[in-house]
Homo-oligomer: A and B are copies of this chain.
Amino acid sequence: MQAQLQQRPYNFSAGPAALPAEVLETAAAEMLDWHGSGMSVMEMSHRGKEFISIYEQAESDLRELLAVPKDFHILFMQGGGLAENAIVPLNLSRGGKVDFVVTGAWSQKSAGEAKRYADVHIAASNEASGFTALPEPSNWQLRRDAAYVHLCSNETIHGVEFHEIPDLKALGSDAPLVIDFSSQQLSRPLDWSRVGLAFGGAQKNIGPAGLTLVFVRNNLLGHALQACPSAFNYQTVAQAQSMFNTPPTYGIYMAGLVFQWLKRFSYRGRNALAAIEQRNIDKAELLYSTLDGSGMFINRVAHNARSRMNVPFFLRDERLNDAFLADARERRLLQLKGHKSVGGMRASIYNAMPLEGVQALVDLMRDFEARHG
């Protein structure tokens, strides 16, 4: 079996994204019979003792890995980040004012959707930079009476990441901070003292598409608008331990396997989340330093804003794009084409991507430059 694992290609998809091979192996082995139950996890009642044990283990492992404080609920929901763009203001805005920090396509989309429910104000934007920098927090135009402030801590399309979550209190705001951390979650620790709510689709670092994670501080519940569907009312979902409606049970199971994998993960003397963060740093440094040392390839994001997870890059001569992608496929480096709104290439190097995968990409870039440069 090990031989088979070694031969897997490196998959740079932005999401749904690569999963650890050993997680997939376990899922395959347990597909017809989970732990002697005689059932696939897909066939279990979500209220039966077998699935409840899977859910509770997953919730507890995630809480431990991310050091989620006791006053935060972890909700396992559906609809992805895009649905949360509506669900967050339905639950938190009270129909009042909400402030947005726009750093790329995702925060822009979030702001647009919130206008259905709230008075939306763009407190800061990096659009003038072509979404290649972070707006300086001291210049943000925050409103005193905003119900919350929204930012996207990692922009999957533009490759812009907040490496430190801003401290709204230090900026003179008492509003809770909402972060869309779809493509950042579980790649590094999070400072929960600066966050009121964090949400993200699972299909980056956690599991299959169709599962959404919402982490929400207890004191933000209970203010949903009348128009909020019951199935997306955070208080209702929290009170029912994410089983108000049938949750995406298989996605929760897969996420649980990923959490177990991450708890076992070690790297350069570190363990679990600290280990994966260090490997993510090393992967990003290897890729960005290669880009910066190249005359053929370029990444345009400001150094302090470069995402560890999503690295958009361009060939200075775009006529070579197809040749590069063809060479990549030949070396079994998959899904490197950039998002259609940005063009060029994008390497998404989430938790499941080993350092060897980035090394293989870097080797390709150097060889390609030697041949075509």
Contact A249 B21 (CB under 8 A): no
Residues of chain B within 8 A (CB-CB) of A211 are 210
A135 near B: Cβ within 8 Å?
no
Instruction: Closest B residue to A203 by CB, please name it.
Output: B246
Task: Please pick, from B17, B18, B86, the residue contacting A231 in the complex, using a CB distance under 8 A.
Answer: B86
Contact A46 B209 (CB under 8 A): yes
Residues of chain B within 8 A (CB-CB) of A44 are 13, 16
Q: Is the interface of A mostly helix, strand, loop or mixed?
A: loop
Contact A31 B28 (CB under 8 A): yes
Contact B8 A38 (CB under 8 A): yes
Residues of chain B within 8 A (CB-CB) of A208 are 42, 248-250
Task: Please pick, from B45, B83, B229, the residue contacting A86 in the complex, using a CB distance under 8 A.
Answer: B229
Residues of chain B within 8 A (CB-CB) of A321 are none
When chains A and B are docked, how far (Å) is the Cα of A327 from the Cα of B354? Answer: 50
A27 near B: Cβ within 8 Å?
yes
Of A21, A90, A117, A246, which is in contact with the most chain B CB atoms at under 10 Å from its CB?
A246
Instruction: Closest B residue to A25 by CB, please name it.
Output: B32
Chain A residues near B (Cβ < 8 Å): 4-5, 8-9, 11, 13-19, 21, 24-25, 27-29, 31-33, 38-40, 42-46, 48, 78-83, 85-87, 90, 113, 116-117, 201, 203, 207-211, 225-227, 229-232, 244-251, 254, 332, 334-335
Pairs of residues from A and B, 6 with the lowest C-beta to C-beta distance, nearest first: A210-B248, A86-B229, A82-B245, A28-B31, A9-B38, A78-B78
